Amino acid sequence: MGISNNDKVVIYDDSDLISSCRCWFQFLYFGHSSELVFILDGGLKKWKIENRKITNEKTKIKPSKYFAKENTHMVKTKLQIEENIKKKEFKILDARSKVRFDGKVKEPRPKVRSGSIEGSICLPYYECINPRDNSFLDKKIIDKKFKSLGVIDNNTVFSCGSSVTASVLGVAYSLINNKYMPIIYIGSWSEYGKI
């Protein structure tokens, strides 16, 4: 894709930041410096609202060599999550909606029960995003949300339905804590809640 290890990368999409946040996580997971990977706040939606330049021309890509180095400490497995239920070594924040977290609606994936991981806390990812332009809310508001849930240190693991929107919470938390490297339960509820 023409990207090298020393490139500054700005990621955007046309969703409410879901895909770009997951892409941000993947770059960090595969060793790109956190000081070189950014999300375009608001993505394409905000860009268009602000009447900025867009094009339909295809970008010419000059192939490059990229050396990936997995940061395996950035993901948790089902076994680690199960051990944590007993040991309580880290907090688990679930990015799904409250009704899904509480098991009040049927899960959208087949053969996955309703509910949530024992001891986990719910913070729907969209509560960190301004629906008007898909930008992140003010840092003070995000900080208040995390603190109200008792998240005040780097000992937090994010989860969701399939580990995608968990990345939105990872980005949101990194906005108020620049020493935090996101940690995601990669299997999330689609693995943990499997029947």
Q: Which residues are catalytic?
A: 160
Number of other CB atoms surrounding residue 179 within 10 Å: 8
Helix (H) or strand (E) holding 130: strand 129-130
Q: Is 115 left (phi over 0), alpha (psi -120 to 50) or beta?
A: left
Residue 90 tokens, joined? 């880290």
Strand, coil or helix: 95: coil
Question: Among 106, 103, 105, which residue's Cα sits nearest to residue 118?
Answer: 103
What are the start-end ranges of the E strands in 19-86? 37-39, 75-76
Strand, coil or helix: 72: helix
Residue 168 contacts by C-beta under 8 Å, 6 or more apart in sequence?
A: 17, 18, 21, 95, 125, 128, 129
d(CA 169, CA 167): 5
Which residue has tokens 């790109």?
Answer: 32
